[in-house]
Amino acid sequence: MQSLFTGGKGRRTLDSVKQFTTLIGAGTSVAGTLRGSENCIVNGTVQGDCEIDGLLVLGEQGRWRGNIAAATVIISGEVNGDILARDKLELSATARVTGNITSPVVAMAEGAIHQGGIKMARDGAAVSSFQEKRKGSTDPVP
């Protein structure tokens, strides 16, 4: 699977991943909350939420119904739910996402489909930016 995001020194996100500890195969369906601290690849179907500290990769054949929260998220399949990527989110050309996405970095390939809102700010960054703009203003703060 090709990754979109090229971070420092031209490396792809997946180039720096040493191993995946969890694999949900194409013929597998899972219902419930996926929790953990390691990297996970999903090629099957999941109905439920995700709360992991590592990297979540949803392959082209992968289907996810529920919310996803992970450090880094790479989507090539279909998601019906909100996605929170604490570090970065990549949507490949085959990605289909219905739901809101939140991440400080979003890379979206041509052909990716997203229906929903996008928030690209680190926690508190939007508030800090607003406060900085207000410092130089003579208008009363609302």
Q: How many C-beta neighbours within 10 Å does residue 126 have?
A: 12
pLDDT tens for 79-108 read 999 999 999 999 999 999 999 999 999 999
Check whether 31 has a pLDDT greater than 90.
yes
Asked if residue 30 lies in contact with residue 46, where contact means CB atoms within 8 angstroms, the answer is yes
Query: What is the reported pLDDT for 136?
Result: 52
pLDDT tier for residue 140 given thresholds of 50, 70 and 90: very low
- Mean per-residue pLDDT over the chain, rounded: 81
Phi and psi of 14, rounded to 5°? -70, -20
C-alpha to C-alpha distance for 112 and 128, rounded to whole angstroms: 31
pTM of the model: 0.74
